């Protein structure tokens, strides 16, 4: 059987759930991971870049080109999420030291190189703040229109927040970048908190990860246990830890895992209480173009099965 692969660039800020998204992409025969670029977000730009390198080393994927991107958001000061992801940004496991080099390019230069060299359109997946994506769209607008198939991103929410009452972390870090990306005219697929909060991995499922007999699963067991700590606070009402970023790759692997609805999504950048809120026009009140396919539901058991199968594939 011929599997039609989707070529992707993953722009991320690892981050535990980013690392799991990376694993899903590498493990899937449906995905061809052409490059990894990193943004400042969950931790400082140096740490997220190092974490992407260490994760690829663990996954045995040292041939994948990696480049670091923005040092700060476009307008705001950088705020990081060490309270969620720890001091390193990827606390909870000993990860190997990279034996390969970072590309001598910036993130947006590597994105441009991949797109120019590709015969087919490429999907940009963004699982961190959208600073690199926005810079890319501003510097290479024609290349983006010609060669970007779509941007699939984890970020935002419809009426929820995890950093301020109505603002999700990735959009909170760089609202101005998100506004550029959402208004760029490129097809968009969004994994908001509404779906990622359903994409929980439960405690006993994390234990099952620990029983998978390979070094990748062992490392991810430690990472998931650490990631679970922050989400145990009863205020969230979670039964496990929400696997935000893997929803993007899972969508590319199997769209039937998700329920979606197309609507206009824009970003509030000036609100006194709401800077960074994604404004989702669910009821078509604005008449604006439905620019985004928004994931709203997930088949959680099948999603977890995909994650378990991917972890087992490293045996
Ligand atoms: C998002 O913020 C980060 O902490 C996670 O990696 C995810 O991308 C969830 O709000
Ligand atoms: Ca992330």
| Residues 6 or more apart in contact with residue 121 via CB below 8 angstroms | 7, 147, 148, 149
Residue 48: pLDDT band (50, 70, 90) is very high
Name the residue of 163, 245, 276 to mutate for ligand 1: max ligand atoms within 8 A of Cβ.
245
Strands 258-267 and 240-242: unpaired
Q: Is the pLDDT of residue 142 over 80?
A: yes
- Check pocket membership of 291 for ligand 1, CB cut-off 6 A: no
Q: Ligand 1, residue 163: give the atom nearest the CA.
A: 10
Mean pLDDT (the chain, rounded) = 97
Q: What is the mean pLDDT of residues 145-153?
A: 98
Which residues are part of the catalytic machinery? 244
Average of pLDDT values for 81-91? 96
CA of 85 to the centre of ligand 2 (A): 10
> Are the CB atoms for 187 and 289 separated by under 8 Å?
no
The pLDDT tens digits of the residues spanning 92-104 come to: 999 999 999 999 9
Percentage of the chain modeled with pLDDT above 90: 98
What residues contact 116, with CB distance under 8 A and at least 6 apart?
A: 143, 147
Q: Check pLDDT > 80 for residue 2.
A: no
pLDDT at 1 > cutoff 80: no
11 lines ligand 1 (CB under 6 A): no
* pLDDT tens digit sequence for 245-277: 999 999 999 999 999 999 999 999 999 999 999
The predicted pLDDT at position 315 comes to: 84
- To test the pocket of ligand 1, the residue of 78, 125, 155 to mutate (highest count of ligand atoms within 8 Å of its CB) is 155
Asked if the peptide bond before residue 179 counts as cis, ω within 30 degrees of 0, the response is no
Atom of ligand 1 nearest to the CA of 18: 6
- Choose among 243, 124, 140: nearest CA to 188: 124
Rounded CA separation 190/195 (Å) = 10
Task: Give the ligand 1 atom nearest the CA of 128.
Answer: 8
**Tens digits of residue pLDDT in 196-243:** 999 999 999 999 999 999 999 999 999 999 999 999 999 999 999 999
Q: pLDDT confidence of 163, banded at 50, 70, 90?
A: very high
pLDDT of residue 128: 98
Measure the CA–CA gap between 132 and 69, rounded to whole angstroms. Answer: 6
Q: How confident is the model at residue 45 (pLDDT cuts 50, 70, 90)?
A: very high
Distances 16 to 8, 241, 244, 299 between C-alpha atoms, Å: 20, 11, 10, 21
Give, as residue ranges, everything with CB less than 5 Å from ion ligand 2.
13, 15, 18, 127-128, 245
Ligand 1 pocket mutation pick from 15, 16, 172 by most atoms within 8 angstroms of CB: 15
Predicted local distance difference test score (pLDDT) of residue 4: 79
From residue 230, alpha-carbon distances to 81, 85, 234, 300 in Å are 11, 8, 10, 21
Instruction: Decide whether any atom of ligand 1 lies within 6 Å of the 244 Cβ.
Output: yes
Distance 163 CA to ligand 1 centre (A): 10
Task: Evaluate if residue 3 carries a pLDDT over 80.
Answer: no
Is the pTM here over 0.95, yes or no?
A: yes
Question: Cβ(154) to ligand 1 under 6 A?
Answer: yes
Phi/psi region, residue 189 (left: phi>0; alpha: psi -120 to 50; beta: rest), is beta
Q: What is the mean pLDDT of residues 288-313?
A: 98
Q: What is the distance in A from the centroid of ligand 1 to the CA of 119?
A: 32
For the four alpha carbons of 193, 198, 199 and 205, in that order, the dihedral sign comes to positive
Are the C-beta atoms of residues 51 and 90 closer than 8 Å to each other?
yes
Res. 53 pLDDT band, cuts 50 70 90: very high
């Amino acid at each position: 059987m011929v599997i039609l692969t989707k070529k992707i660039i993953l722009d991320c800020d690892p981050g535990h759930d980013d690392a799991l998204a990376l694993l899903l992409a590498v493990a899937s025969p449906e995905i061809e991971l052409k490059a990894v670029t990193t943004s400042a977000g969950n931790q400082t730009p140096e740490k997220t870049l190092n974490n992407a390198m260490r994760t690829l080393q663990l996954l045995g994927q040292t041939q994948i080109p990696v480049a670091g991107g923005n040092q700060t958001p476009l307008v705001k000061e950088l705020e990081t999420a060490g309270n969620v992801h720890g001091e390193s940004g990827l606390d909870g496991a000993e990860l190997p030291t990279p034996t390969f080099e970072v590309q001598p390019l910036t993130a947006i230069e590597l994105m441009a190189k991949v797109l120019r060299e590709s015969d087919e359109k490429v999907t940009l997946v963004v699982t961190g703040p959208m600073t690199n994506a926005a810079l890319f769209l501003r510097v290479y607008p024609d290349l983006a229109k010609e060669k970007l198939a779509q941007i699939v991103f984890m970020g935002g929410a419809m009426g929820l927040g995890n950093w301020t009452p109505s603002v999700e972390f990735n959009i909170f870090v760089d609202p101005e970048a998100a506004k550029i990306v959402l208004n760029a005219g490129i097809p968009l697929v969004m994994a908001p908190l509404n779906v990622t909060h359903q994409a929980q991995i439960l405690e006993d499922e994390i234990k099952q990860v620990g029983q998978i007999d390979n070094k990748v699963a062992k490392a991810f067991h430690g990472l998931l246990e650490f990631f679970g700590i922050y989400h145990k606070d009863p205020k969230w009402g979670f039964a496990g830890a929400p696997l935000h970023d893997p929803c993007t790759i899972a969508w590319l692997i199997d769209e039937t895992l998700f329920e979606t609805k197309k609507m206009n999504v824009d970003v509030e950048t000036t609100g006194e209480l709401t800077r960074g809120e994604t404004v989702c026009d669910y009821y078509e009140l604005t008449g604006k173009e439905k620019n985004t396919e928004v994931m709203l539901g997930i088949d959680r058991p099948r999603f977890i099965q995909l994650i378990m199968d991917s972890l087992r594939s490293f045996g």
